[in-house]
A and B are shown apart, each in its own frame.
Chain A
Amino acid sequence: MALKEIKCSSCGHVNPAGTQLCQSCGKLINEDYDKKKIKDVMRYDGSAVRSKVRSQTLYDKIWNFFTSIRNGVIIIALISIAAAIGTIFPQEYFIPVGADPEQHYQEHYGTLGYLYYQLGLHNLYSSWWFLILNGLLALSIIAASIDRGVPLFKTLYKQHVKKHDSFFKRQRLYSIQETTIEDDKVSSIVSKLKKMRYKVRTDGENYMFEKGRFSRWGPYINHSGLILILFGSMLRFFPGLYIDEIIYVSEGETVAIPTTENEFYIENNRFIVENYDQEEHDVFSDALMNAVVTQNFQTDVSIYRNLNQNVVGSRPDLEKVDDYSIQVNHPYRFDGYEIFQSSFDSSQLRSMTFFLEDADGEQVGDPFVVDLRTPDETYNITDDIVIDMRAYSPDFLEIADNGTLVSQTPVPRNPAFVFEVNEQGEDPERSFIRIMGSTPITDNNEYNIRFLEAEDQVASVLTLKKDLTMPFFAVGFVIFLFGLFIGSYINHRRIWIKNDTAFKLAAHTNKNYFGLKKELNKVLESEDIEQVEDKFVIEQTKKDK
């Protein structure tokens, strides 16, 4: 079907197919439209909206699917419902690290939890179907905005002042008198509306007042912002744009910062946990009576740059760049990276101290300290007694068949040792030492190795972030908010006046007729002209009765 342009029978303006109101004089072109609600026809100023005109080809049908507000609302509703389902049980990233998800959901949430896991709802927000829903939303936003925004833009930028008589009656607010009014009164109205910051255009006896047109772009601006945000979220999938790493660094230790290719190093000078002191914070005394509340988590760090970064296999040559105290809410920023205080780990041991005891239970020589990260091989106790470390397991699991000690992890949490006491002229004595016990390996041992004390190793767990996608989100959301605020807080108001054969006045706004009516009636009242009534309200009241 060929779609014909329509020539207005009144003013002769040629309008694109599908136009409802003549784009020049505002006379109704599509007679069918009158049967529908009066409010619809002015929505896009009666311009031809593509999706309302064409529906023949497959392309039209797809276009119409995405431009449909109804479908858009359904997509939004589906996304919201899906998001809500994701909060029924914790998502996978909230369950304890290292727990087997299948087991965890079954154990903690029963059959429902098992089902939740099997359906993949434990990773809902990154599931393919949730992403597809968001993709559909993006398409819907783009299509609907172009479909309506383009014709609206064209119409609002070439408005004609002179309107057909029927146009006046089509507005929600209008006042039509029997006769004309004096020119004085008209010019008085003009100056009053000017003071209200209306822009005035005239064409003979025709006047048009307009303000706040900018607010009509609000929806299109905020939709652009949303598109930018959705685009930014897709960028997360490109490697390098988003870095999320853990830095595990014990007190006194210096480690390379991941992903910087050994350019940067971080040293943990001190890790601090402070709790609120009841004495000091009198006002919280009730709350602190039964509970310990943490006041501060802090890691004092030094940041170094490695001057030998490009020399392969060389030892790092560190130059201090900065000192900083990383706290919660006070991350350290450098070179596009941010380092956050995430948590801490005090489950590790730094060193253990032992002493040697003879058969009578007397201590022999000085106690000796075993550094659990880099333990020494031998410890001199007296001039003729030496203790050798024969085996060491930082996180003891079991003794293997071949007699070696098996370690669960390389982290010193549950150390175990085989020590050999060598006294000059005697047979070596071996024993197996753990935190809670000591087992002799050789027979008839004369000496005992006793545990004296252990020193904890506190490690700070820091989060390293670099997010190059963030500008898309930030800029996108600022654009979104800007569009939302101008679209919501500013009203586009237009008033038409015709004073040729009789005085006619009509007014239109995209929203808040209440405010427009108030504003307009104030002017009309002062000029002693009949005030405008909201036609929609009158219709509603009739319907109610």
Chain B
Amino acid sequence: MDTQLVSLSGTLLYTAFVLLIIAIIPIAMSMKTEKKRAWNIGFTMVIVSFILMLGYIVFRWIGQGHAPVSNMYEFIVVFAIMIIGGLIITYFYFKTRTLALFTIPIVLLLIAYGSMFTREASPLIPALQSNWLFIHVFTVTFAYGILSMSAVAGLIYLLKVIEPKEKSKRAFALESLMAGIVVVISFIIMTVVMTGIVGYQDDYYYVDRQGNEQVAEYNLPALIVFRDAIPVEHVGENNYEPTEHMMTGVELPPVINSQSLNTVIWSFIVGLIVYGIVRLSIRQRIITLIKPLTRKVNLELMDEIGYRSVIIGFPLFALGGIFFAAIWAQIAWSRFWGWDPKETFAFITFMFYTIFLHLRLNRGYEGEKSAWLAILGFLLILFNLIAINLLVAGLHSYA
């Protein structure tokens, strides 16, 4: 029964995902016309998709007996859901269509990325067995969802303001951001193809930092491996035998996770090739392709959304990400603050938005400057949500 509920929740999320993809079409069409029909269809699909996503949360929660916020997959998905929530709230207040068009692809990318991690229902370790788990995580991700709106508004603002043809740092920076998104998309498609469809797997035996024996499973050809890695083959149970795999001879000390770095390098290679092909075929920067979507955008409104979402999201973040977090840390780990890497980056995120608000309120950082800061804030959130858990081993590494 419980297992069925969990798999039902997965189906709901999948349906919501597909619905969001389809919703892009009417929403994109509504950009060119004053008529409401296309928009109404598209936005209704977004709302239905959001309800399905809430269904995912509820059923998975009942099924596994705890809030679905306990591993990377669940985290990233809840973050994506909250962004849709933030979008809907922002729409009802500001009635801006363009925001939806730019938010949905980001949400789709996040859900796809989250699905790279293990999706199985996992039991809670003792430290996570507390109601503070959902109170803390839902408040933080809700704040993130709202704060993300400022980044999307900032992105739209910049696309509108910056001329693709101009030779400037800002145009280069914006184009680089787009290239970065191409790299992320390449990473996701590559991983899905290589693990799911091709089924590529090379195993390498190595000794990790703590001196433990490990086997790294590469789903992409190994350009770099751990120091003194030996190509091995899985022969059932926990047994491995030496074999022949691709070796470039590049070996790195175990302090760097060569396997992750290998994936990153491949993502950049493939992503930049894809980017290069697109760039060569259109003979322009790719922001030229996206810019027309922002034609009807009201800059002041985008700036207002950018500012307002920070002002609404920041106190919520302080509440969930610092205050609730501290209460729970006191109960579970006997100290409310301990400079664990994740805590530290919550602190840095907090400080970053403090800077944002002070610069904006007292030093006139509006418009473009504010837009760049909002995007930087979003990258910081992504870093804290995802990278910290993967890079640094701390109390928060559940993945």
Contact = CB atoms under 8 A, between A and B. Distances in A.
A520 to B, nearest CB: 16
A86 B301 contact: no
Contact of B301 (A327, A514, A544): A514
Contacts of A283: 2-3, 6, 63-65, 121
Report, nearest first, the 8 A-B pairs whose CB atoms are least far apart: A328-B126, A283-B2, A286-B120, A340-B334, A69-B362, A287-B122, A87-B341, A80-B351
> DSSP class of A's interface residues: helix, strand, loop or mixed?
helix
B304 interface: yes
Contacts of A513: 304
Interface residues of B, number: 62
Contact of A512 (B121, B308, B388): B308
16 contacts: A69-B362, A80-B347, A80-B352, A80-B355, A84-B344, A86-B344, A87-B341, A90-B393, A91-B339, A244-B335, A283-B3, A284-B123, A286-B120, A293-B123, A484-B315, A511-B311
A534 B123 contact: no
Given A329-B129, A477-B322, A481-B323, 4 more contacts: A244-B335, A470-B330, A488-B311, A514-B308
A246 B130 CA distance: 24
Contact of B334 (A94, A331, A534): A331
Interface stretch (A294-302, A366-374, A411-419): A294-302
A46 B355 CA distance: 24
Contacts, number: 144
A540 B332 contact: no
Contacts of A76: 351, 354-355, 358
A87 B344 contact: yes
A473 interface: yes
Nearest to A70: B363
Given A76-B351, A488-B314, A108 B304 contact: no
Contacts of B123: 276, 281, 284, 287-288, 293, 295
B299 A477 contact: no
Interface of A: 37, 39-40, 43, 69-70, 72-73, 76-77, 79-80, 83-84, 86-87, 90-91, 94, 108-110, 113, 125, 244, 276, 281-288, 293-297, 327-329, 331, 338, 340-342, 463, 465, 470, 473, 477, 480-481, 484-485, 488-489, 511-514, 534, 537, 540, 544
> DSSP class of B's interface residues: helix, strand, loop or mixed?
helix
B94 to A, nearest CB: 8
B392 A465 contact: no
Contacts of B125: 293-294
Nearest to B359: A73
Given A283-B65, A512-B308, A329 B332 contact: yes
Given A110-B255, A286-B120, A489 B348 contact: no
A514 B304 contact: yes
Contact of B3 (A94, A282, A295, A540): A282
Contacts of A341: 126
B196 interface: no
Contacts of A470: 330, 336
B315 A481 contact: yes
A340 B253 CA distance: 38
B301 A83 contact: no
B121 A329 contact: no
Interface in B337-371: 339, 341, 344-345, 347-348, 351-352, 354-355, 358-359, 362-364, 367
Nearest to A83: B344
Given A79-B351, A465-B334, A477-B323, A540 B300 contact: yes
